[in-house]
Amino acid sequence: MILDRIVPRVLSVRRLPGADPALLAAYGADPKRHYALGLVTVDQDDPTYVALDEATKHARVDVVFAKSFYAGSAHASGALSGEILGVIAGADMADVDAGLHALIRCLEHDACFYTANDAGTITVFPHVVASLGRYLSAQSGLSVGQSMAYLVAPPMEHTIGLDAALKAADVRAARIFTPPTETNFAAAWLSGELTECQAAAEAYAAAVVEVGRSAWDRNLI
Amino acid sequence: MSFTRTLIDNLRVKLGAMDPLPPPPPLPVVPYPPSRVFPTPRRRSAYAEAAAKHTTALVGIGHVGTRYATNVVLQFQAELAVAHAAVGTELPEGWAEANGLLPLHSQVTSHRQFLLRPDLGRRLDAPSLSRLGERARRGIDIQPILADGLSAIACMGSGLTLLGHFTRECEARGWSVGTPMCARFARVWLEDEIGETVNCKVAAILLGERPGLGTGDGLSAYLVYNPKIGRSDGDRNMMSNIHARGAPPEQAARRLAVLAGAMLDQKTSGVPLNLHGLDLGHEAGGGYRAPEPRVRLVYSGSDSSKEKA
């Protein structure tokens, strides 16, 4: 059945109190402000970006490092590598712990990819962030607390779906990631009122499903 | 519940997840099989019918299509039940004393253990061994031993008759015969230890044989020359099917005596024993056998009328 949830698997979670200043600097943290690190690897990258942002809403932590791995979790470097390494940093281990709990809760109960065809070989991430945290707002150039539709799909499906989303709702493209990205998906961040973001995400998902059902355009003669 | 999950669940319903399934395609029409695929042949082989009159073997039983007829199947099941019941019986405690035999007992303590531990059934327990040393005659020619084996029914049925006939046959030939004894929970190889203890030339154990279809009352006899622990099956001579429909006890006793005589003459038994020239057949009356039809345990409807007619 289509639009089944594919719940992300958190492959590893490690806490690093008192990290070496050289390491802190290399991973983008500020040794003056940051004392402890929390690291996770997950087999889905985009839900993890959302979850990292969620952590900044619940604890005094900064997302200092978050990068997807090339070609995705099907080509991971090891059993624990998955598709992304996310690092949050805080002045206090307790802050980092609170951030990690919020991050894991978000991955378990909110952000996830969905299947877009019956075989599960096409996946889509039509996520609505009701209220942006400090991480994604900085990345997208929007302000904290705004709503955002976070849309990800394979290149062809994404392109058709994004057009449908932009036309279906009163939203503005904050950023469009053309393919290929690290994981070879394509993505877009759309901003607008919460209900408009929801309408855009819905139109996007429906369009992705439709492309999966008719890969060849019926009107091509 | 998150915003996005609710949104996508609703979209899923909108795209048709909850729509009822389309009606199933109509089933193909399969024609009924013909009411009788294998008609019972009326014609029977005259040869098979004639042969069946002369044997208890399952010849001339006919068939229905590729299967046995019902009465044959029922007969098979009834005969198997007879065999099962025979294996399940136990020689009662005190049966040996009641019949004037020296009671012996193997190391087995229960019937279940008897079936599962043949090794224990091949050795005497300590009380039996001392009883044997105290009360049995020693230094004799023939030591007959009655035992239950795998069919206590056979032992209680024709065991005493066979023992009596065999003892008389031996005494008539001028051999000294040992104290009559009866072993409980005994295996064949128990005769080695008994024979070694009483120091006999030939030990003969007469015991209930492994029941077959319809024969729960068969006895077997195993003879060994110079018995001692460690003798193998290659050192023994045996005779099976000692029952009314096989070799009757009187006949069997005579043949066993001939066999024991050969062992005493040649001072060996088993594979090395030369059986050529032994008159096992005629002296024992084993030449012609009267026709032995199979004992019918079950009659089906059509059979019973035929039997009466």
B241 and B139 together in one domain: yes
Q: Are residues B130 and B179 in the same domain?
A: yes
Same domain, B128 and B236: yes
pLDDT band at A212 (very low <50, low <70, confident <90, very high): very high
Judge whether residue A103 has pLDDT over 60. Answer: yes
What domains appear along chain A, each with residue ranges and CATH number? 7-112 (3.30.70.1710), 116-213 (3.30.70.1710)
The CATH number that applies at residue B219 is 3.40.50.11240
B4·A110 Cβ contact <8 A: yes
Which pLDDT score, from 0 to 100, does residue B286 have?
Answer: 55
Residues B118 and B81 in one domain: no
- B209 in a structural domain: yes
Q: Is residue B250 part of a domain?
A: yes
For residue B73, tell me if it sits in a domain.
yes
pLDDT for the residue A194: 95
Task: Specify the 3-state DSSP secondary structure of B90.
Answer: coil
Residue type for position B231: R
In a domain? residue B288 = no
- Contacting A with CB below 8 Å, chain B residues are 2-5, 7-12, 14-15, 17
Report the pLDDT averaged over residues A187-213. Answer: 96
Note the ipTM here: 0.85
Helix (H, G, I), strand (E, B) or coil at A194: helix
**Shared-domain flag, residues B72 and B169:** no
Over residues A31-84, the pLDDT tens digits come to 999 999 999 999 999 999 999 999 999 999 999 999 999 999 999 999 999 999
- Residues B124 and B108: beta-carbon distance below 8 Å: no
**Is B165 in the same domain as B132?**
yes
Q: Is the same domain home to B147 and B234? A: yes
Please spell the DSSP secondary structure of B267-309, one letter per residue.
T--STT---TT--TTTTTT-S-----PPPP----HHHHHHHH-
Chain B residues closer than 8 Å to A2 by CB? 12, 15, 17
Domain presence at residue B300: no
Same-domain check for residues B83 and B208: no
Kind plus residue range of the DSSP H or E element containing B143: strand B142-149
Q: How many domains does chain B have?
A: 2
Partners of residue A80 on adjacent β-strands: none
Query: Does B239 reside within a domain?
Result: yes
Same domain, B93 and B221: yes
- Structural contact between residues A71 and A151, judged by C-beta atoms closer than 8 angstroms: no
Q: Which tokens go with B219? A: 């006895």
Mutate to test the interface with B, among A3, A54, A127 (most CBs of B within 10 A): A3
Instruction: Return the pLDDT at B304.
Output: 46
**Tell me: the pLDDT tens digits for A141-176?**
999 999 999 999 999 999 999 999 999 999 999 999
Domain holding B81, by residue range, is: 46-87
Is B231 among the domain residues?
Answer: yes
Q: Are residues B121 and B52 in the same domain?
A: no
Same domain, B144 and B72: no
% residues pLDDT > 70 (chain A): 100
Best of B2, B3, B4, B11 to disrupt the A interface (most A CBs within 10 Å) is: B4
Is the pLDDT confidence value at A197 over 90?
yes
Could you report the average pLDDT of every consecutive run of 10 residues in chain B (309 residues)? 87 88 88 66 75 77 82 88 92 93 95 93 95 94 96 94 96 95 96 95 96 89 95 94 88 93 95 85 58 70 45
For residue B23, the distance in angstroms to the closest alpha carbon of chain A comes to 18
The reported pLDDT for the residue numbered B306 is 45
Instruction: Tell me the nearest-neighbour CA distance from A110 into chain B, angstroms.
Output: 5
Q: Which chain A residues are Cβ-neighbours of B5 within 8 angstroms? A: 5, 109-110, 112
* Same domain assignment for residues B73 and B136: no
The whole model's pTM is what? 0.50
- Taking CB atoms and an 8 Å cutoff, what residues of chain B touch A209? 15
Identify which of B5, B7, B17 has the shortest CB distance to residue A202: B7
> Nearest-CA distance from A163 to chain B in Å?
18
Task: Examine residue B35 and state whether it is found in any structural domain, yes or no.
Answer: no
CB contact under 8 A, A201 and B12: no
